[in-house]
A and B are shown apart, each in its own frame.
Chain A
Amino acid sequence: QKEVEQDPGPLSVPEGAIVSLNCTYSNSAFQYFMWYRQYSRKGPELLMYTYSSGNKEDGRFTAQVDKSSKYISLFIRDSQPSDSATYLCAMRGDSGNTPLVFGKGTRLSVIA
C-alpha cells in the first residue's frame, strides 16, 4: 500500500459545480497536510496548508482533514475553467524536517 493514495481522474465537471478532491493515507504520523495546484508545464503551487485535523477555508477553496479516517479533502466551490489543472495532495510528519510525501495528483477539467 502506498503511503498516499489519490485518484488520478480525470475528473470533468461543468462550470459552477462543486468539486471534491480526496486523498487517503496510511501513515498516522502525518500532521501537515497540503494541497497544490499544478497547471500544465508549470511547477506545483501551494493552495492550502492545514496542520492536524479540522477545516480551513480560503475563498472558494475548503480543505478538510479527518485524521481518524486518514482522509483529506479539497472542495472547490463555483468551479471555473481556470481551475482546470492537476491537484496534488502532500503531507508529512511533525518531527524535524521530514520530507513531503505527495499523491500522484488528480487531473480536473472544468468545462464552460
Chain B
Amino acid sequence: DSGVTQTPKHLITATGQRVTLRCSPRSGDLSVYWYQQSLDQGLQFLIQYYNGEERAKGNILERFSAQQFPDLHSELNLSSLELGDSALYFCASSVGRRNTEAFFGQGTRLTVV
C-alpha cells in the first residue's frame, strides 16, 4: 500500500456526463500528480499541483480540470465525457516537487458507455 488513496475505484458513466475523481496524498506529501493510462497511449502525465498551486501541465484536455485543496487532497474533474476517455486514472504524490520520487495510488477505472 503506497499510502495514496483514490476514490472511487470504479466508475461507469454515460457519454456527455461529468465525473469527479478524488485523491488523498500520503501524509506529509505536498505534490499531487494526475496520470491517465490507456491501452493505446500508455501512461500519460496530465497535471501536477504543489501545495495548492498548479506546478506543471501535460496533455490535459480542456474538458478536464483539477485542483488541490488546503487539506492537500486533489480532485480531477472530467466533463463532456467521450468513449475515448475510458481509461485508468492514477494519482501520485511526493513530498517535494520532484516527480521522480512520487508514489502512485491504485487508480480509478473509468468506463464511459
Instruction: Give the residues in chain A near B45, CB-CB below 8 Å.
Output: 99-101
Instruction: Give the residues in chain B near A46, CB-CB below 8 Å.
Output: 102-103
Check B100 against A45 for contact (C-beta < 8 Å): no
Instruction: Please measure, in the bound complex, the distance between the C-alpha atom of A37 and the C-alpha atom of B23, giving whole angstroms.
Output: 21
Instruction: Give the residues in chain A near B113, CB-CB below 8 Å.
Output: none
Instruction: Give the residues in chain A near B68, CB-CB below 8 Å.
Output: none
Residues from 91 to 105 in A contacting B, C-beta threshold 8 Å? 92, 97-105
Residues from 59 to 100 in B contacting A, C-beta threshold 8 Å? 90, 92, 97-100
**Cross-interface CB contact of A103 among B2, B42, B56, B107, cutoff 8 Å:** B42
Instruction: Please measure, in the bound complex, the distance between the C-alpha atom of A105 and the C-alpha atom of B88, giving whole angstroms.
Output: 15
Q: Mark A12-38, 1 if CB is under 8 A from B, else 0.
A: 000000000000000000001010000
Instruction: Please measure, in the bound complex, the distance between the C-alpha atom of A102 and the C-alpha atom of B43, giving whole angstroms.
Output: 6
Check A97 against B90 for contact (C-beta < 8 Å): no
Instruction: Please measure, in the bound complex, the distance between the C-alpha atom of A41 and the C-alpha atom of B100, giving whole angstroms.
Output: 22
Nearest-Cβ distance from residue A9 to partner chain B, whole angstroms: 14
Instruction: Give the residues in chain B near A98, CB-CB below 8 Å.
Output: 56
Which residues of B come within 8 Å of A, CB atoms?
A: 2, 4, 42-45, 48, 55-56, 58, 90, 92, 97-100, 102-107
Beyond known contacts A97-B97, A97-B99, A102-B43: 16 more, CB 8 A cutoff: A34-B100, A41-B106, A43-B2, A43-B4, A43-B105, A44-B43, A45-B2, A46-B102, A92-B99, A97-B48, A97-B55, A99-B45, A99-B99, A100-B99, A100-B100, A103-B42
Provide a sorted-by-A list of 16 A–B residue pairs whose CB atoms are within 8 angstroms: A41-B106, A42-B107, A43-B4, A43-B107, A44-B43, A45-B2, A45-B104, A49-B100, A88-B42, A97-B98, A99-B48, A99-B58, A104-B42, A104-B43, A105-B42, A105-B43
